[in-house]
Amino acid sequence: MSQLHLISILTALPAFGALVVAGFDAPSKRLARGVGLAFSLVSLALALALWARFNPEVTELQFVERHRWIPSLGVDYFVGVDGLGLLMVLLTGLLVPFSLLASWKIEEKPQLYFALVLLLESGLFGTFTALNFFHWFIFWELSLIPVFFLIKLWGGRERSQAATQFFIYTLVGSVAMLLAFQAIFLATGTFNFPELTQMAHDRRLANGLLKIGWLDMPPRLIALLVFGGVFLGFAVKVPLIPFHTWLPVAYAEAPTGVSMLLTGAMSKMGVYGFLRVLLPIFPEQTRAMLTPLMAMAVVTIVYSAWAAMAQKDLKRTIAYSSINHLGYCLLGLFAAMKTMGSDAVWLNEKAAALNGVLLQMFNHGLSASALFCCVGLLAERSGGRRGLDDFGGLRKVMPVFCGLMGIALFSSLGLPGLNGFIGEFLIFKGAFALSPLATAVATLGLLLTAIFLLNILQKVFSGPLNERWSQMPDLSANERAMLMPVVALMLAIGLYPQLLLGVINPTVVGWIKQIFNYV
């Protein structure tokens, strides 16, 4: 085959790397790190190769590999990417080396740490490329285990509790989703996402659900419950408020490199799930529940911004800001689901919103992980302190660091010219037209975000220099080399969004035809 099974190789490579790295004995820490990084870089190269070979003109799935796996259960080995998948693969490929570099100084069993991160990378690649529920679910859950141990073994003081809470929350969501998919399988006899989308389209799914007689419930209610199960799985992962309580603890307790991956890549799994699974398979139910869903998105945006403002711990602040940013994505998504007729205007607005959502996913991945990385660097220098009020005037002693982190902050805030802007702009542009009231309220979130981010800027970088930190060293050459490319990428996307839009726009247009606009 011409594609050389690119996706399969891409998915398997980091897992193989994990095995290799885990096999190094205790003294060869340096070698283990090097090999681990090498594996992540090769994966990145593969992801870039995928991008290079990706045909942006086509709306269909590409690089498809499909083999029968468990015929009796409708399970296929089924992978492929469209613009969305490609974007996520790219993001993951970028973030993992970044995260490994940020974790370079871990001295306690780095072999295991690097191996777990690589395993997580495999899980992420798998999640973003698999197109059969069974296949996909393996990777969805596979990504949990490494994160659980990364937090539990290398995390902060409350690590055990944080890890357990994270695991149980996500798993409750997963089990709910699993149960729902079992019902779906029973109704349709397939686990393949594209086929399920098709079946939702021509109502075969709805008819199939009639087969399930559950306590004399009306079929509509059963369908809603099934929808609810799947929704719960993704909502916990994103997270939407009120399913978010695991997140601040987990992000705060995780080691820096893991926080970066958690926010940068794993939180995207939830949004990805909404896009790939929930909305295509349950358009009707989503529409029926649109008002509460929208309300939830808005609450997520505003509440998390508010909560971020109230935090004293920089890591927690960024954690809440992360919830806030993903809230925008969901706002855009739900707005695009609205039934609006098929006027070209509406179609354009929907396309804008959805393009914005995809961009936002990518951008947030970059900026949030850069921020976590910066906070990590800061905490490393301050002996673990990362309170908002612990610092001050750092600009004087570490200008390079402040400059780079400043860019990341502004990107996160959505300053035009940086990558964050373009995504949020598109979301708000589309959403405002489609759902003015909700969007108007959500704007409040934007405002609050600006306040707390600027607050960080002010309290940490400006003001009188806290004498305690007058000797704090600025970034080393290595650290600069680590942060620079990411910051450069923020600028690049900010100035030339077409770099990504070119890939995702055809996909989005395809969706609008198929999912977001049929009545």
Partner 1 sequence: MLAWTIYLSFFGMAVLMLLPADRPRAARMIALGATLAGLAFAVSGVLQYRNHPPADTILTITQVTWLRSLGLQYFLAADGISLTLVLLTGIVAVAGTLFSWNVEHRTKEFFAFYLALIGGVYGVFLSFDLFLLFVFYEIAIIPKYFLIAIWGSTRKEYGAMKLALYSFIGSAMVLVGLIATYVVAGTHSFNLLDWVQVPFPRSFQVWVFPLMFVGFAILAGLWPFHTWAPTGHVAAPTAASMLLAGVVMKLGAYGALRVAMTLFPMGVAVWQDPIAILALIGIVYGALVALVQQDFKFVIGYSSVSHMGFVLLGLMTLQTVGLSGAVLQMFSHGIIAGLLFAVVGRMVYDRTHTRDLNALEEMRLSKALPFAAGTFVVAGAASMGLPGFSGFVAELQVLIGAWQAFPSYAVLAGVGIIIGVAYLLRAQQKAFFGDMPEKPAEPALDPITIPERLGALLLLATTVAVGLYPQFLLDLILPAFHPNAPLMGVLTRGGVL
Chain residues in the site for partner 1 (CB under 8 A):
69-73, 134, 137-138, 140-142, 144-145, 149, 152-153, 160, 164, 167-168, 171-172, 175-176, 178-179, 182-183, 185-186, 211-215
Rg (C-alpha) for the chain, rounded Å, is 22
Q: DSSP class of residue 338?
A: S
* 213 vs 384, beta carbon nearer partner 1: 213
User: To the nearest whole angstrom, how small is the minimum distance from the Cβ of residue 160 to partner 1?
Assistant: 6
| Alpha-carbon gap, residue 294 to 439, rounded angstroms | 9
| Alpha-carbon gap, residue 151 to 248, rounded angstroms | 13
Size of the chain in residues: 519
User: To the nearest whole angstrom, how small is the minimum distance from the Cβ of residue 127 to partner 1?
Assistant: 12
* CA 270 and chain centroid, separation: 7
**Burial (CB count <10 Å: 0-12, 13-18, 19+), residue 472:** middle
* 77 vs 425, beta carbon nearer partner 1: 77
Beta bridge partners of 317: none
**Burial (CB count <10 Å: 0-12, 13-18, 19+), residue 4:** exposed
* 75 vs 265, beta carbon nearer partner 1: 75
* 135 vs 381, beta carbon nearer partner 1: 135
* 42 vs 179, beta carbon nearer partner 1: 179
* 201 vs 204, beta carbon nearer partner 1: 204
* 72 vs 471, beta carbon nearer partner 1: 72
Beta bridge partners of 75: 70
User: To the nearest whole angstrom, how small is the minimum distance from the Cβ of residue 256 to partner 1?
Assistant: 21
User: To the nearest whole angstrom, how small is the minimum distance from the Cβ of residue 353 to partner 1?
Assistant: 33
* 193 vs 511, beta carbon nearer partner 1: 193
User: To the nearest whole angstrom, how small is the minimum distance from the Cβ of residue 204 to partner 1?
Assistant: 17
Could you tell me which residues come within 8 angstroms of residue 427 by beta carbon, excluding any fewer than 6 positions away?
Answer: 328, 329, 331, 332, 352, 353, 356, 357, 360
* 134 vs 421, beta carbon nearer partner 1: 134
User: To the nearest whole angstrom, how small is the minimum distance from the Cβ of residue 103 to partner 1?
Assistant: 20
Stretch (H or E) spanning 323: helix 314-337
User: To the nearest whole angstrom, how small is the minimum distance from the Cβ of residue 390 to partner 1?
Assistant: 26
- Residue 473 — φ and ψ, nearest 5°? -75, 150
Beta bridge partners of 315: none
User: To the nearest whole angstrom, how small is the minimum distance from the Cβ of residue 505 to partner 1?
Assistant: 34
| Alpha-carbon gap, residue 294 to 434, rounded angstroms | 12
Is residue 10 a contact partner of residue 121, using CB atoms and an 8 Å limit?
no
| Alpha-carbon gap, residue 388 to 376, rounded angstroms | 13
- Residue 9 — φ and ψ, nearest 5°? -65, -45
Stretch (H or E) spanning 280: helix 279-281
Stretch (H or E) spanning 108: none
User: To the nearest whole angstrom, how small is the minimum distance from the Cβ of residue 93 to partner 1?
Assistant: 22
User: To the nearest whole angstrom, how small is the minimum distance from the Cβ of residue 91 to partner 1?
Assistant: 23
Is residue 128 a contact partner of residue 81, using CB atoms and an 8 Å limit?
yes
